């Protein structure tokens, strides 16, 4: 039972263009959503988050959008840079701080 899904396993984008990563969830009890970024041989690092009471949160080049009715969130990276090449995980939480992760999207930003 995959409660958080990232349907695109990989994404390739040209430097300077927009990267859009998508995530769908099924559990209506999720109240907080996060994106983590992971480089090889490193642990995931927190990128940006959004509470279920908001529909948008922005931090520099990163913006997360939440559509509660569709149970969908997306991460926009503008402009994409080669250093953004990594695996991105969408995560969600209900009560407490146990996180449920999606399967990840590997992003490759081409110079």
Partner 1 sequence: ETGVTQSPTHLIKTRGQQVTLRCSSQSGHNTVSWYQQALGQGPQFIFQYYREEENGRGNFPPRFSGLQFPNYSSELNVNALELDDSALYLCASSLGLSNEKLFFGSGTQLSVL
Binding site for partner 1 (CB under 8 A): 4, 6, 32, 34, 36, 41-46, 49, 89, 91, 93, 96-104
Nearest residue (CB) to partner 1, 12 versus 45 = 45
Nearest residue (CB) to partner 1, 6 versus 19 = 6
Q: What ranges in the chain are assigned the alpha helix state H?
A: none
CB of 78 to partner 1, least distance (A): 23
Nearest residue (CB) to partner 1, 45 versus 81 = 45
- The 8-class DSSP code of residue 18 comes to -
CB of 107 to partner 1, least distance (A): 15
User: What is the rounded CA–CA span in Å between residue 69 and residue 92?
Assistant: 16
* Integer angstrom CA distances of residue 94 from 18, 33, 85, 91: 30, 9, 29, 11
User: What SS3 class is residue 34?
Assistant: strand
């Amino acid at each position: 039972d995959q409660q958080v899904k990232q349907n695109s396993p990989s994404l390739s984008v040209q430097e300077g263009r927009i990267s859009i990563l998508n995530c769908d969830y099924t559990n209506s009890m999720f109240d907080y959503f996060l994106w983590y970024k992971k480089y090889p041989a490193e642990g995931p690092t927190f990128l940006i988050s959004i509470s279920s009471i908001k529909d948008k949160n922005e931090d520099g080049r990163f913006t997360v959008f939440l559509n509660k009715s569709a149970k969908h969130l997306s991460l926009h990276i503008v402009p994409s840079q080669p250093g953004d090449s990594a695996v991105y995980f969408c995560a969600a939480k209900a009560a407490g701080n146990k996180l449920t992760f999606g399967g990840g999207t590997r992003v490759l930003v081409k110079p």
